[in-house]
Structure 1
């Protein structure tokens, strides 16, 4: 292929710039993740400050969760289509706007709107992971992805002590001013340090799909997050849960029909992607259970017999080591991923979480035990969070990296919301009475430990097929050389000119290395990325058709001539009994084994 030979000076410059990109993106992820917990220390005071009820004030947390879940798949898809750096800047700008509104607002509706705008920033985490795939050299990609994925937990864990320190010295509006200032700094850093990725996907934005997915996610998360307030069997909770499920049922066939779906359901249904997404829900549940239960054990009064009676500031400080584990574990997770593969990293992390949760019911009485147990769970969680984006990257076309990781992030949010709902349900049913006051029993928290351990174990078990899939997967150019840099587009049609919607086009180098692959959309179109201009082999396969191959000289932005499938796959034969041919038999063709990847 026609690529320049890099000089030592070029390599050093590229390493320096890639390090700056990793630091910038990881700091952005941490800043936007802070928004999840930054107002929690003030939440008990908001009913008095804003002259409202506790239930109404809780919307200041719920609004951020919902807006982040809705914005993540939408902005991730827009990033794949119109530019990843551009959408990162949009997410940061919206977050800054929300912070300013929150700092100036004095009413509950304004603050809820501000918190919703702040939550949009979470969408830049999967976008940042996609930028790393496009821009980083192979030797830095695993570390960058590990750091970026872990920022979701680092920021959430650091929010409590940081907010506690701010509130001790200044007023609550300063929380929003600090957030706005950090957002402005990161906006400037991204504008200066991060290059726009040339990898784009073609097509128009799927507005109906975005609306349906946003509505379904909102309904489901509302049911999970507000069910403890409304009652789990209330009309609101059951109605929203049912509505969310019905909207998902309507959304799935829509995504199969549109030309450029918000989420490519066919890709998401592949075992290599589906299993990772299921693991994301399970590990999201286990991760948040660790944070929630540890917080309760530190804050419950000593008269309960198990609580340590810490205030919010000291609770946050003792939670900080667990959050710092995510950053400290990133190099180790990256090394395991490079040496043994991301599936092994995911399995190791899930197993570590399961073991930690099996021990915590028996060792959660002293401060050192609670903190050590929380940190051990965080070790496993950091490994799973580091592995999942890498597995997604390897299993999806390069032009769908941001959208696929966006869906994975949303599913992680479903897991965390389910964890919060489960804890609320358990702690309201398993209680003790001390001096006329009602507190959750220690048994309620041990129940959460066992449930979280079980979800971690299941996440590890469903990882086992991923080990086999990874072993069978061919080496990609971006696994051994450098990330993709340029995109080409084309269409697959049948001999009569009709588009073929279920084809898969694979791009291979002349030496046989896999570069990229893409399924065709409803109109038969596909997008592929490559390391640079050169001569490649295009292989097109579709069910019922003979494979179509061609060598082509490709360049960035090129529109390929249509791949025309002309050879229908047919079989011929004769049916006979023991003596002569028969005319009363019926013949059918079936698969010998189901597809596994």
Structure 2
């Protein structure tokens, strides 16, 4: 299960490193849609899969997610066009729900005294892949091109599916419920419309009919989803659960933590791999292998952040861990916005941001465990996962929309952004983390667990 979540962490990291080469190969300024489509599928699928996991078994759903993700990686590996690559990697977005499926399954089958540390370690990873991943990714991209990244996921996920089938126990916890396909469709269409309008707005013009139509379509579908969620018996996202302050604020703060790290991971290789002789005011001209030295400390400190939370949560409330983590992300990103012309400073600040992100990641499941009973953990985790996919899908789109308004020049089909644009991008990361910290501060000091709607059913 740790390796599954390591693959989830590497999915964003490895594709981010390959993104400049992918954008250049397909000559597109919309490379961010590879990551956005991945997160969008995860956002829409998470609440559906949370319901399925609660009703049919968390292990079954986890195994299905890993197998379908491997199929998506295969499509991306052989994709002849950029839209086909986006489609394939979007299917691999089914790795995202594995985050809450893993810690919900751990809570059900692990001895109670080991749950807190197991969840923290699993959420941030044991470092088996995450720390060497930047070096491994650089080697793959430099020697096999961007398609090598996708073939790595085809092979790795296929092997993990076999391991899950052999080694992982099924949860005995069941919660009856229905699957809301209508809500999933409305939510997916609404998010897609809004993200398309925001993404292409800088190119089309914010007041052009095409931009306004997509934004209007997205808004209409989102309103329709809200209406259906209030009327349906078992909506895709139970607004009654989401209306509880601990769950809502945990979802918001964790979602903003993921969003800040997602945008940071997208910006860092873009800045570091830009040639330093172009007079842009940033860039070190690193190739994919050299970039690993900038990102490896970030990955290592993410692991440390998870271990810190696992060790301290029995004595320190996870709320405080979330606040501290987001404060570190905000501070590190703000300093990067001000100064990013020193390699040593960039590496140091990336490590600070990684530490804060690791603390935020590990605090999330512990906050949910504190707030909901076992029967509702997958459902509540799905809600948090939805926020943890929607917000990371939106923030990079907003950052790219801003960057595409600050293009310095285009060389060989690739857009190169101004120093002002890069600085604003890191400031946007800091702003998201700061808002997340404020949301975490508002989590009630005393939490009363939500009630399960009915008694669990045993196998």
Deviation at 1:422, TM superposition (A): 3.2
2:310 and 2:368 map into 1 onto residues whose CA distance is 15
Deviation at 1:455, TM superposition (A): 3.0
Secondary structure of the residue aligned to 1:261 is coil
Question: Which residue number in structure 2 is paired with residue 420 of structure 1?
Answer: 396
Deviation at 1:92, TM superposition (A): 1.0
Secondary structure of the residue aligned to 1:301 is coil
Q: Where does the alignment leave 5 or more consecutive residues of structure 2 unmatched?
A: none
Secondary structure of the residue aligned to 1:304 is coil
Is 2:424 the partner of 1:447? yes
Cα deviation code 1:156-207 (max 9, x no counterpart): 9976643331233346544333212211221122122211101111132222
Cα deviation code 1:561-587 (max 9, x no counterpart): xxxxxxxxxxxxxxxxxxxxxxxxxxx
The correspondence for 1:351, drawn from 318, 327, 342, is: 327
**Contact kept? 1:36, 1:65, Cα under 8 Å:** no
Question: Which residue number in structure 2 is paired with residue 89 of structure 1?
Answer: 63
**Contact kept? 1:166, 1:175, Cα under 8 Å:** yes
Secondary structure of the residue aligned to 2:313 is helix
Cα deviation code 1:118-152 (max 9, x no counterpart): 22222211111211221223332222322343359
Is 2:318 the partner of 1:342? yes
Question: Which residue number in structure 2 is paired with residue 216 of structure 1?
Answer: 190
Range moving further from structure 2, 134-143 or 79-88: 134-143
Deviation at 1:231, TM superposition (A): 4.5
Question: Which residue number in structure 1 is paired with residue 272 of structure 2?
Answer: 298
Question: Which residue number in structure 1 is paired with residue 44 of structure 2?
Answer: 70
Deviation at 1:27, TM superposition (A): 0.7
2:19 and 2:335 map into 1 onto residues whose CA distance is 32
2:127 and 2:195 map into 1 onto residues whose CA distance is 19
**Contact kept? 1:96, 1:180, Cα under 8 Å:** yes
**Contact kept? 2:51, 2:178, Cα under 8 Å:** no
Secondary structure of the residue aligned to 1:259 is coil
Q: Equivalences for 1:266-345 in 2 at 5 Å?
A: 266-302=240-276, 303-345=279-321
2:245 and 2:354 map into 1 onto residues whose CA distance is 27
Cα deviation code 1:219-245 (max 9, x no counterpart): 333344444554444444433333233
1:197 and 1:439 map into 2 onto residues whose CA distance is 50
**Contact kept? 1:291, 1:374, Cα under 8 Å:** no
**Contact kept? 2:126, 2:303, Cα under 8 Å:** no
The correspondence for 1:394, drawn from 350, 363, 370, is: 370
Normalized per residue, the structure richer in helix is 2
Deviation at 1:373, TM superposition (A): 0.6
Range moving further from structure 2, 57-66 or 397-406: 57-66
Q: Residues 235 and 178 (structure 1 numbering): CA distance in 2 closer, same or farther, change over 3 Å?
A: same
Q: Residues 48 and 216 (structure 1 numbering): CA distance in 2 closer, same or farther, change over 3 Å?
A: closer
Is 2:444 the partner of 1:517? no
Question: Which residue number in structure 2 is paired with residue 456 of structure 1?
Answer: 433
Question: Which residue number in structure 1 is paired with residue 89 of structure 2?
Answer: 115
**Contact kept? 1:123, 1:406, Cα under 8 Å:** yes
Question: Which residue number in structure 2 is paired with residue 527 of structure 1?
Answer: 454
Normalized per residue, the structure richer in strand is 1
Q: Equivalences for 1:14-163 in 2 at 5 Å?
A: 25-40=1-16, 43=19, 53-54=27-28, 60-104=34-78, 106=80, 110-150=84-124, 161-163=135-137
Q: Where does the alignment leave 5 or more consecutive residues of structure 1 unmatched?
A: 1-24, 475-515, 519-525, 530-555, 559-597
Q: Residues 347 and 527 (structure 1 numbering): CA distance in 2 closer, same or farther, change over 3 Å?
A: same
Q: Residues 464 and 60 (structure 1 numbering): CA distance in 2 closer, same or farther, change over 3 Å?
A: closer
2:9 and 2:329 map into 1 onto residues whose CA distance is 22
**Contact kept? 1:336, 1:344, Cα under 8 Å:** no
Deviation at 1:270, TM superposition (A): 0.9
TM-score, structure 2 normalization: 0.87
Range moving further from structure 2, 271-280 or 366-375: 271-280
Deviation at 1:376, TM superposition (A): 0.6
Secondary structure of the residue aligned to 2:455 is strand
The correspondence for 2:214, drawn from 207, 216, 240, is: 240
Higher relative contact order (CA 8 A, sep 6+): 2
Q: Residues 346 and 210 (structure 1 numbering): CA distance in 2 closer, same or farther, change over 3 Å?
A: same
Deviation at 1:44, TM superposition (A): 5.3
The correspondence for 2:223, drawn from 249, 259, 277, is: 249
Range moving further from structure 2, 281-290 or 367-376: 281-290
1:156 and 1:222 map into 2 onto residues whose CA distance is 31
Deviation at 1:333, TM superposition (A): 1.0
Secondary structure of the residue aligned to 1:469 is coil
Cα deviation code 1:369-401 (max 9, x no counterpart): 001111111211211121122212322343222
Secondary structure of the residue aligned to 2:178 is coil
Q: Residues 124 and 446 (structure 1 numbering): CA distance in 2 closer, same or farther, change over 3 Å?
A: same
Q: Residues 235 and 319 (structure 1 numbering): CA distance in 2 closer, same or farther, change over 3 Å?
A: farther
TM-score, structure 1 normalization: 0.68
1:280 and 1:410 map into 2 onto residues whose CA distance is 10
Deviation at 1:83, TM superposition (A): 0.8
1:111 and 1:175 map into 2 onto residues whose CA distance is 12
1:223 and 1:152 map into 2 onto residues whose CA distance is 39
